[in-house]
Structure 1
Amino acid sequence: MKHLSDRQSNPFGLRPPFDRSDADAKPAVPGYGDPNADFHVIGDHPGRHGGTASGVPFDTGDDESGVRSLLRTLGFLTGDRPDPELDNCFLSYVHMCTLPDDRPPTPEEYARLERFFDAELRAINAHILVSVGEQATAQVLEAYTTQRSRVDLEMATLHATELRGRGFLVVPLADPRHWDESLFDAARDRLTSIHESDYRQTKGVATLVG
């Protein structure tokens, strides 16, 4: 059973426990997109992957590059900034709060928000987890697969591969700040192939909240 909502931004009403943002930044960048999505794209934090001004994950101000361009190419994202429409795709961060000067979270700060990310992931209950960058990939592999101890987090090697998780198919992507044309094409081709396949067979035991 899927969660039904017409709201694209923060459809589950999550309220992270602290505000340490700069004055001109959103306090947090919660999940955004289709809450009934089969594809869940997971990044690190707003200071790394964007959205501190708009509140939309992966909004770096440039729709012609990075994750947003990839999603537009795949047909998941339509419309213009700052409120795009997402179909069959949900975006979120392992650490949704913004921090001063876009600094990375500390290990304690990641741990403090882990339950919020976990709640969002389980509520979406997607078939495909697309982890973007090393931190998000480590988090997804540690929490939702049995493969973390067997996988070397060399993102150039892991980029656009397929890893089986506990009821999920995980597709790691290198940090989009380092993509060139070949890495973009590899991500596009892998996700297109999965999208055109019978990917729902990847889903095992349901992981709904509660």
Structure 2
Amino acid sequence: MQNVTDRTSNPFGFRPPFDRTGSDERTAVFGYGDANADFHVIGDHPGVHGGRRTGVPFTETESGRAIQDVLREGGFSAGSMDEPSLENCFLSYVHMNCLPDGHEPTTDDYATLERFFDAELRAINAHILLAVGDRATDHVLREYTTQRGRLELDMAKLHARDIRGRGFLVVPIRDPREWTDGDRDAIGSALEAILGRDYRQTKGVATTVG
């Protein structure tokens, strides 16, 4: 496989507009991990899934640590929880910019950063998209599959399901803050099943999505 880049954080050098944080605050939590990965874990924004202190997606928060635990169990992550070493796995957010405490991204905020997320997703061009939470799942299903109109956005029902996209597989993950008995085991089992079969499909995201 051709090596896309050896850079771990913001491997493609994106520079989205930064206008919501103070001069001494982190501006964004960029995509992080193995840019040649087959598995791309997609969250909402730093205020939900963490990284404002570390600069790494899925750190610091309860949800972030739970996702990391699953990745470690699956053999994707090792080392420090704040700066993990990832193999065959990339982490990013639909909305990478940091916002002041207590602020949530608006519809316009998400729209402004959509092209950066889309460009990164196409560049990584993973086989498996693991969408964490309502926002990320809705976006991935709506923009990168033909399934959104047929599926109710009920994360309890969608959790750990295989949903075919265009050239890849989407696996929604219920936000860990809402997990009930069996949810953690379900996503672990789903990843184990995927890894146990020939999950690689023809990569067509870069040319067929849009």
Contact 1:66 1:179 in 2 (8 A): no
1-structure distance, mates of 2:183, 2:25: 30
Contact 1:2 1:124 in 2 (8 A): no
2-structure distance, mates of 1:112, 1:206: 21
SS of residue paired to 2:152: coil
Partner of 1:82: 82
SS of residue paired to 2:98: coil
Partner of 2:28: 28
Q: CA deviation at 1:57?
A: 0.3
2-structure distance, mates of 1:102, 1:6: 35
The one-letter code sitting in structure 1 at the alignment partner of 2:10 is N
Partner of 1:187: 187
Q: CA deviation at 1:165?
A: 0.7
Contact 1:155 1:174 in 2 (8 A): yes
Partner of 1:178: 178
* TM-score, normalising length: structure 2: 0.92
Quote the RMSD (CA, aligned, Å). 2.0
Contact 1:48 1:102 in 2 (8 A): no
The one-letter code sitting in structure 2 at the alignment partner of 1:205 is G
Q: CA deviation at 1:19?
A: 3.2
The one-letter code sitting in structure 2 at the alignment partner of 1:108 is D
Equivalent residue runs for 1:58-207 within 5 Å: 58-60=58-60, 65-201=65-201, 203-207=202-206
2-structure distance, mates of 1:61, 1:24: 21
**Structure 2: which 5+ residue stretches go unaligned?**
none
Q: CA deviation at 1:21?
A: 2.5
Q: CA deviation at 1:205?
A: 2.5
Of 115-124 and 96-105, more deviation after overlay is shown by 96-105
Q: CA deviation at 1:174?
A: 0.3
**Structure 1: which 5+ residue stretches go unaligned?**
none
Q: Which runs of 4+ in 1 moved over 3 A?
A: 22-25, 61-65
Distance change (3 Å), C-alpha of 1:61 and 1:139:
closer
The one-letter code sitting in structure 1 at the alignment partner of 2:167 is G
The one-letter code sitting in structure 1 at the alignment partner of 2:204 is V
